[in-house]
């Protein structure tokens, strides 16, 4: 059970990251080829980021509810007893930091 949840979380984070990178590449190609304006490209990425944030929040809430149900029904399966939870949280924090840095770099380049 632990490995299944662990794989699910890693896969979800990886998929979101890959989707963001691929969309950014596609938007850059469209803007570079003149099919879209730079402003429209930024709007597409901002809309995508907003939707990703919303989906991430929903995923986090579902994960918390799942863990609460598991902990309630399996007292020995507490998150503080699972070292991989700390690993996942630190990886998520690192990804969030990179996304914030990228966002700040892009905003700084606009000025």
**The pTM is what?**
0.50
In this structure, what token pair is assigned to residue 70? 């598991």
**Closest of 110, 99, 75 to residue 24, by C-alpha:** 99
Tens digit of pLDDT for each residue in 45-87? 888 888 888 877 787 778 778 777 877 777 666 666 667 777 7
**Closest of 17, 15, 12, 9 to residue 82, by C-alpha:** 9
In this structure, what token pair is assigned to residue 105? 């770099």
Q: What pLDDT was estimated at residue 111?
A: 46
């Amino acid at each position: 059970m632990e490995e299944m949840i662990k794989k699910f979380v890693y896969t979800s984070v990886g998929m979101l990251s890959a989707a963001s990178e691929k969309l950014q590449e596609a938007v850059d190609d469209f803007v570079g080829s003149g099919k879209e304006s730079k402003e429209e490209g930024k709007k597409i990425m901002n809309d995508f980021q907003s939707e990703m944030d919303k989906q991430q929040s929903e995923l986090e809430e579902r994960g918390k509810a799942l863990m609460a149900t598991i902990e309630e029904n399996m007292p020995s399966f507490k998150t503080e007893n699972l070292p991989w939870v700390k690993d996942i949280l630190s990886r998520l924090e690192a990804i969030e930091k990179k996304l914030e840095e990228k966002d700040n770099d892009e905003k700084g380049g606009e000025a």
